[in-house]
Amino acid sequence: MISPSGCVEVGAVYVHAPFCARRCTYCDFAVTVRREGDLPAWGHALAAELDQVDRDGEFALAPELDSLYVGGGTPSLLGAGAMHVLAGVLGRERLQAAELEWTAEANPESFSSELARAWTEAGVNRLSLGAQTFHEGALRWMGRLHGPDGPARAVKAARDAGLVNVSVDLIFGLPKHVGRSWSDDLHRVLELDVPHVSLYGLTVEADTALGRAVAEGREAAVDVDQYEEEYLLAADVLVGAGYDHYEVSSFARPGAEARHNAVYWQGGAYLGLGNGAHSYAHPVRRWNVRDWETYYRRLLAGESVEGARESIDDEAAELERVWLGLRTTKGLTVDGGRIAARALADRWSVDGLASRHGDTIRLTPQGWLLLDGLAVELDQALRTG
């Protein structure tokens, strides 16, 4: 929505909490390693950046937000008062909508009963818990700080505080030598009986401990066959247990779908605050500097924290629309006259990669494994006519 002043009014906000007690072996996120989060500096920085956003005039916060997502890093490392501080920065009046989805991420080892109560009192109504695995050896290999029983304790603490909308993250594709049973992990997450599960496939990024180990031959690259088998097994197990596989990486019980993430998938506008955070309002995507110290120093000096920006041209925007449309079960609806696109979708259906219902194309889990390539194929077919 364009406000009377000409800026884009956004109801979806992402806030980055950069602090982690330890960097995981595979992590290339914008994090800074500290034993404890620096809540005073974080709150001060967000307030200063929001002032900068107001002065720039490109974005304006809606009077009432639809969704607020606090990610990281490890937001729970900031302690019990963090969400009260954030509410003060954003304006409590913006967080009063009955339908507001306010998600905060946490790691099991830093999510306590006290923190759960404080977050709930502040207004957090959805928890995203970074479990990743329940296997002790795999946790050690990844550099995680919680033990196999940590997720269950964290979920109980959340429920005891009235925070029942919980999503649990699991990672698949781990090296076989760590000894993790993916099937066991899936059954452990079912025992938690949470309304949402998110899957993340292991990726090897060059500038990580894992990336360096692979480059030096101390670790093998991700086994593609294992990766595919574990993804498809998860789809079978979770769907069989009553979850809807509504997005390539996301499974939800009815009504528990992530509404904030849907803004991304639908190409909606959003504002990102914090180091490394991205903001988008078509056709411009911009992002902040990644390093926390640089970000904070610039704010103290009254300097812009924007790292870079790009303008999405029509061709790139169309490819993004296709890719985003194919990643959810809503699918992508094409013009009925696009014969080449319909024929391509029918070929995919024969191969078990998609289904077509009239002009709507939906990928299967097998198709989602090939999402990037299929999106390019479909985009080209749509240009053909």
pLDDT digits (tens, 9 = 90+) for 66-78: 999 999 999 999 9
Identity at 227, one-letter amino acid code: Y
* Confidence (pLDDT) at 338: 82
Give the mean model confidence (pLDDT) for residues 44-69: 97
- State yes or no: pLDDT of 5 exceeds 60: no
Give the mean model confidence (pLDDT) for residues 39-59: 97
Which residues, 6+ apart, have CB-to-CB distance to 98 below 8 Å? none
pTM of the model: 0.96
* Confidence (pLDDT) at 385: 67
Of 127, 108, 112, 105, the closest CA to residue 31 belongs to 105
384 pLDDT band, cuts 50/70/90, is confident
Give the mean model confidence (pLDDT) for residues 54-73: 96
Give the mean model confidence (pLDDT) for residues 35-50: 96
CB 129 within 8 A of CB 152: no
Domains and CATH numbers, the chain: 8-265 (3.20.20.70), 315-384 (1.10.10)
Of 194, 167, 209, 215, the closest CA to residue 28 belongs to 209
Cis peptide before 73 (omega within 30 of 0): yes
- State yes or no: pLDDT of 1 exceeds 90: no
What digits encode the pLDDT tens for the residues 304-328?
A: 999 999 999 999 999 999 999 999 9
Please work out, in degrees rounded to the nearest 5, the angle formed at the alpha carbon of residue 106 by the alpha carbons of 103 and 112: 115
CB 275 within 8 A of CB 295: yes
- State yes or no: pLDDT of 206 exceeds 60: yes
- State yes or no: pLDDT of 45 exceeds 70: yes
Quote the strand ranges of 35-184, DSSP E.
Answer: 59-61, 67-72, 101-106, 126-132, 166-172
